[in-house]
Amino acid sequence: MYGNKTKEEITQAYTSVHTGEYHPSKVIPVGYSGVIRGSIYQETTGVEVTDGEFLEQPADDLINFMEADLTIGMYIFYKISRHFSSHLTTDYTETGTYEWDVNVSSKHGIYITFFLPERVQWLPNIKFQHNAEDYYIEFTEASEPSSQENDEDYDY
């Protein structure tokens, strides 16, 4: 069980319209503390585009309700932050029982660091369109030596 839901209930996914590939979201267990990396892929080719040039492009066609000087990296920060905020209840916001931070860097890509002691969260595969091209962000564990061995050390 994950909180009051089963893993199947909180795992979200989508199937690519263009490639037919199945992209499951990542489940974050209660008590997990660590780093998750987000990779941006072009929908039609599946090629990763998480690089400085892509993240620094103007996001005028993505954000028509904000100031025009924003980049794709800033837009992605906004989308991920909004997702997290929408899935956390007021109780958790007021008591501060969770911590999370989104880092979007043209040098390092997208990273989310977090600690969720009393709450199960999941990261959706976020889709967006830029210059008439479809993209999606897929989240994976950062390349740190944590994984299953260290998971046994945590007291969930």
Q: Is 94 within the bounds of a domain?
A: yes
Give yes or no for a contact between 94 and 104, defined as CB atoms under 8 angstroms apart. no
Q: What is the DSSP letter of 152?
A: T
Residue 105: which domain range?
Answer: 7-143
Which pLDDT tens digit goes with each residue over 77-89? 777 777 666 655 4
Report yes or no on 137 lying in a domain.
Answer: yes
In a domain, 28, yes or no: yes
Q: Domain total for the chain?
A: 1
Q: In this model, does residue 25 exceed pLDDT 80?
A: no
DSSP state of 25: P
- Asked if the structure places residue 15 within a domain, the reply is yes
DSSP character at residue 89: -
Confidence category of residue 155, pLDDT binned at 50, 70, 90:
very low
Percent of the chain residues topping a pLDDT of 70: 35
CA separation for the pair 38, 134 (Å, rounded): 16
2 found inside a domain: no
Instruction: Tell whether 154 is covered by a domain.
Output: no
| Distance separating alpha carbons of residues 155 and 153, to the nearest angstrom | 7
Which backbone phi and psi does 72 adopt, to 5 degrees? -60, -40
**What is residue 24's predicted lDDT score, i.e. its pLDDT?**
64
Q: What is the mean pLDDT of the chain?
A: 63
Report the pLDDT value the prediction gives residue 75, as an integer from 0 to 100.
79
- Mean pLDDT of the region 52-60: 76
- Tell me the C-alpha distance between 92 and 69, whole Å: 33
Separation of alpha carbons 89 and 126, rounded Å: 21
pLDDT at 68: 59
Higher pLDDT, 120 or 33: 33
What DSSP string runs through 28-84?
E-TT-EEEEEEEEEETTT--B--SHHHHTSB-TTT-SSS-TT-BHHHHHHHHHHHHH
Q: What is the DSSP string of 92-131?
A: HHHHT--EEEEEEETTTEEEEEEE-SS--EEE--EEEEET
